[in-house]
Chains A and B, each alone.
Chain A
Amino acid sequence: MSGENGSNRFPSPFNVPTPEGCEGWQDLYPYYYVFSEDRREFEDNRFWFQDAMHHPEPIYPFDTITCESWWVALGEMNTRVFIVPPALGIDHRVLNGYLYISALPVPNPDDIPVRVGHFMERAGYYYQHWDELYAQWQAKAEEAINELKAVRVPDLPEMEPINVVVEGRGLTSAYDLIVAYNRAVENMHKMWHLHFEFLNLGYAAYLTFYGFCKQAFPGISDQTIAKLVSGIDVILFRPDEELKRLAHKAIELGVADVFKQTVNPNEVVATMSASDAGGVWLQEMEKSKDPWFYFSTGTGFYHLPRSWVDDLTVPTIAIRGYVEKIQAGQDITRPMVAIQQERDRLAAEYEALLQTDEDKKAFREQLGLARTVFPYVENHNFYVEHWHHTVFWNKMREFGKLLTKHGFFDEVDDMFYLHRYEVQSALYDLIGAWGSGGEPRGPKYWKPRVAKRKEIFKKLKAWSPPPGLGEPPDVVTEPFTIMLWGITTESIQNWLKPSANAADTKELSGFAGSPGKVEGVARIIGSVEDLALVEPGEILVCPITTPSWAPVFTRIQAVVTDIGGMMSHAAIVCREYGLPAVVGTGFGTKVFKTGQRLRVDGTAGTVQIVE
């Protein structure tokens, strides 16, 4: 293994220079969220890796609220609730705008036996009562979303309405505004607590079964293990099912030709509105929207990119794809019975290959537990990152709108260049001025600062963060680090290689995300807005795919991503679509060019340029 200067280490966080023109970037983030001399000894002795899966780009100051929420929630479930025997939580730092994370081990290994006892009691309770607790969880999650929807962002009127007087309310819009903001922020924290209530245990159970399979059937593919465990009726597929329903409806109502003329969502809606049948179809779409279009076209962690419900581009392209398929006589229904039968066949045949009764019993029980936990693993994402966060970002935009109206910003989304404590103080600035009848400092204070931050942000975006910082440990025990980020010997070694020279590279390897081998023409897509450019039969090469891109996959042959691990949200969906995928290639979007012919082997995890 060799890194900088042939060493085993990544650069120290204290030796990474600030990109030119980005001086003062630390002001965009809370004081505790950056590396500092105050904790240098601790920070310099740890291994940090860049969380390119969730935060491949610099974090908007306001959007740190999601990272900070999961920082607390993931950690406390490991450390304070379930007492995961060998691991504490995952620590966070931002460097040059990028999120670096580090799994913390239990400091004194002698504590582990005691922790095992606590874990058995606590995790044991959850595993034993999983189904009822999970049913309760779904109710709690929906309640939290409804609470957030119910938060009303008041305007600040010239004069309070008369009922404030005649009802003797004593409280005003200013008070309501502060409460609304605090409620929304609290609600975000609440949702992330719920996110991790089950996830750590879910991953631990899955990883145990995964480890058994890898030992019993050396070389068995990750996809096969996932297939043994995956649910059949998964909520994550529901948005796509709605699109299929709408495609069928369009044909049934005789309005499917609209999609042949345009996939511009505004034009589709305008054309549909012009006819009675189209009007009926639009009503059908409205029925699907809540909640199934609350589906982010990104990871959901950021206020951008937007969700289906905000921008109908992705659903429109996908519906066109389904219309074409149905009209070509293809059956687009998910073969639920076949998927179920295949899952049962795989399980029975692998079990039969085991040679002792003890092994068979262990296989059955571990598979049973993995299947119990998996619906949560597969479904939580829709509730939290998609449904809830779509509501959350739009709720935040209401505050942004109010501040813009009062001259604090030029445009609504400028608010996201302030972190959440700054927004809170801006709101206080506003109500102070409103209450007293004076003048807020905000408009003069924030506009130049936002302009400066936009400049810094642009430069941070152009900077390439090192994949790791500090010295890698010998062993990782933290379940998320293994399962979600796919931290392995190979990935660390790859990172330590001097960065690939794009001009000379003809082949990249990554995780075998979804099996199959194809050749086709590459299409490099940087963001969701470019998805409409994809031609049928092309190979999509992109930084990261999210489940909500998947419906567009009906038009393409294969997917190659820069980022992703074995259980990355994208990999689950690619397997479902039977689409070859190589995820986590590191540099796919840099090495490959649109128009090049690529050979994608989703079974071996390789992508080659065909001469």
Chain B
Amino acid sequence: MNTTLYILWFTECDRSQQNLVGGKCANLGEMLQANVRVPPGFAITTHAYRHFMHEHRIGGEITRMLASLDSDDIDQAEETSRAIRELMEATPMPAAIADAICFAYQELCAECHATDLPVAVRSSATAEDLPGASFAGQQETILWVRSAESVLRNTVLCWSSLFTARAIAYRQAMGFPHEKVHMSVGVQKMANSRAAGVMFTLNPINGDRSKIAIDSSWGLGESVVSGVVTPDNYLVDKVTEGILQRKISPKLIAHVPNHAAGRVEIADVPAERQNIASLSDDEILNLTILAKCIEGYYHVPMDIEWGIDGDLEFPENVMLLQCRPETVWSSKPPMRVIQQSGTALDFVVANMLKGVRVR
């Protein structure tokens, strides 16, 4: 196995390497090529994962454990999942991979002029022949990781997350062989987000593609993604870039880094900040332009995680964290406005007959 392929920097990733770095990291690479601002980082490729599984022959062992699994027995599935993950987490990382990861992490620290740079470690799964397969909620993200040793440990956690009971059940339900799913891991500089959230390049309420819908809250984006706060919500017209709607909600808590403890914590938002907008109009406009750029690149509606970095000045502070194609509305048949074709005059008559309800 070629050890130089254990690491690919995001700047080297693109769609053609999806099998090597997974969808998430491939998209970040694409975005960098489209000149979108993305926190720097690298992917630990599926070669590393396969090497790890081969090294101590744990791959074969896991296959055997799964072969005897009765898919209807939930308790047994949980038991098997725990056994597999314990096995993986107890297996030492092959030295060649560990060296490559440590070296890459040090290089990232140097690039960002920091020692012990806080990073996010995220799984980025790949499944050959299963494009667009969504493993929603079955993937791992570990925030505020800040040493090479910790990156290594969390890399294994990401790998083992392929074998949660849910992930196993999902593959069995889909009739998809476990050994064909591989895991890449993304290691990315933590955006020190003052505010962060999610945006769609359509209105998720009604599928209207002329809008960009932005959910935003204080701190790291995890509070929005996990749903522990009701975020501020903005609706922007994609064509005019005008803000059509702002709903400012009370944002009681936020995910924030605890520097002393070296981890991310849920903290109370000071009362005076709870009810004020988490984004300025300029930031909303900048996110809108970012969303349009990303959608224009992929030509499909997109689901985008973003952050406003608290250490940087506007507009350098607007960051793309990750993005993927939107799946709910995109999989529905195209929306229709008119039910029956006709001349403009036909529509005038129809509209007159309809009138406007006033109560």
A complexed with B: yes
**What is the distance, in angstroms, from A118's C-beta to the closest C-beta of chain B?**
11
Asked if B4 lies at the interface with its beta carbon under 8 angstroms from chain A, I say no
Q: How far is the CA of A472 from the CA of B245 in the complex (A)?
A: 29
CB pair B343 A365 closer than 8 Å: yes
Tell me if B344 and A368 are in contact (CB < 8 A).
Answer: yes
Q: Given that A217-B208, A221-B242, A224-B242 are contacting pairs, would A123 and B341 also be in contact in the complex, using a CB cutoff of 8 Å?
A: no
**Interface positions of B from 328 to 359, Cβ below 8 Å from A:** 334-338, 341-345, 347-359
Q: Which residues of A contact B349 (CB under 8 A)?
A: 85, 116, 119-120
B95 within 8 A of A: no
Interface of A is mostly: helix
**CB atoms of B345 and A489 under 8 A apart:** no
Whether B243 sits at the interface, judged by CB under 8 Å, is yes
CB distance from A100 to the nearest CB of B (A): 17
Interface status of A144 (Cβ within 8 A of chain B): no
**B-contacting 9-mer, from A33-41, A162-170, A208-216, A547-555:** A208-216
Q: Do the beta carbons of B337 and A215 come within 8 Å of each other?
A: yes
Most chain B Cβ neighbours within 10 Å, of A84, A87, A218: A218
User: Measured between alpha carbons, how far is A1 from B359 in the docked complex, in Å?
Assistant: 9
Cα distance A127–B359 in the bound complex, in angstroms:
32
Complex Cα gap A346–B240 (Å) = 7
- A300: interface (CB < 8 Å): no
Bound-state CA distance A520–B23 (Å) is 50
- Known A205-B348, A353-B238, A492-B358; contact A219-B245, beta-carbon cutoff 8 A: yes
Per-position 1/0 for A1-25, Cβ under 8 A of B: 1000000100000000000000000
Chain A stretch 478-498: residues in CB contact (< 8 A) with chain B: 479, 482, 487-489, 492-493
Determine if A515 is an interface residue (Cβ-Cβ < 8 Å): yes
Give the CA-CA distance A369 to B341 in the complex, in Å: 16
**A residues in contact with B345, CB < 8 Å:** 120, 123-124, 127, 369
**What mask results when residues 192 to 224 of chain A are scored 1 for a CB within 8 Å of chain B, else 0?**
000000000000110110011001111111001
Contact B358 A221 (CB under 8 A): no
| Residue in contact with A477 in the complex, picked from B281, B343, B347, B353, CB distance below 8 Å | B353
* B237 & A220 in contact (Cβ 8 Å cutoff): yes
The contact of B356 among A212, A368, A482, by CB within 8 Å, is A482
B356: chain A residues at CB < 8 Å are 475-477, 482, 487-488
- B residues contacting the other copy or chain, number (CB 8 A): 40
State the CA gap A361–B347 with chains docked (Å): 12
Are B348 and A204 interface neighbours, CB within 8 A? Answer: yes
Chain B residues in 8 Å Cβ range of A205: 344, 348
Find A350's partner among B239, B244, B347, B352 (CB 8 Å cutoff). B239
Q: Are B358 and A219 in contact (CB under 8 A)?
A: no
Q: Are B237 and A359 closer than 8 Å at their CB atoms?
A: no
The residue on B at minimum CB distance from A482 is B356
Cβ–Cβ < 8 Å partners of B341 in chain A = 358, 361-362
Q: Which residues of A lie under 8 Å from residue B211 when comparing CB positions?
A: 217, 219
Q: A208-B347, A355-B335, A369-B344 are in contact. Are A474 and B352 (CB under 8 A)?
A: no
A412–chain B nearest beta-carbon distance, Å: 44
Contact A221 B240 (CB under 8 A): yes
Q: Which B residues touch A479, using CB under 8 A?
A: 352
Q: A120-B345, A349-B239, A358-B341 are in contact. Are A489 and B359 (CB under 8 A)?
A: yes
Chain A residues within 8 Å of B243, by CB:
603
> Complex formed: what's the CA distance from A409 to B280 in Å?
63
Q: Is B2's CB within 8 Å of the partner chain A?
A: no
Q: Which residue of B lies closest to A363 (CB)?
A: B337
B240, A85: Cβ atoms closer than 8 Å: no
Query: Is residue A438 within 8 Å, beta carbon to beta carbon, of the partner chain?
Result: no
A249: Cβ under 8 A from any B Cβ: no
With beta carbons under 8 angstroms apart, the residue of B281, B353, B354, B359 that contacts A492 is: B359
- Pick from B235, B337, B355: contact of A219, CB under 8 Å: B235
Residues of B contacting A208 in the complex (Cβ-Cβ under 8 angstroms) = 344, 347-348, 350-351
Give per-residue flags for A108-121: 1 if the beta carbon is below 8 A from chain B beta carbons, else 0.
Answer: 00001000100110
Q: A487 contacts which chain B residues (CB < 8 A)?
A: 356, 358
List residues of A (52-111) whose CB comes within 8 Å of B's CBs: 84-87
Interface residues of B in 223-278 (CB under 8 A from A): 235, 237-240, 242-246
Residues of B within 8 A of A361 (CB): 341
CB-based nearest B residue for A364: B344
Q: B240 to A86, Cβ gap below 8 A?
A: no
Residue of A nearest to B342 (CB): A362
A354 at the interface (CB under 8 A from B): yes
Asked if A604 is at the interface of the complex by the 8 Å CB criterion, the answer is yes
Q: Which residues of B contact A219 (CB under 8 A)?
A: 203, 208, 211, 235, 237, 244-245
Footprint of A on B, CB under 8 Å?
A: 203, 206, 208-211, 235, 237-240, 242-246, 281, 334-338, 341-345, 347-359
Q: What is the interface of chain A, defined by CB distance below 8 A to chain B?
A: 1, 8, 84-87, 112, 116, 119-120, 123-124, 127, 204-205, 207-208, 211-212, 215-221, 224, 346, 349-350, 353-356, 358-359, 361-363, 365-366, 368-369, 472-477, 479, 482, 487-489, 492-493, 515, 517, 603-604
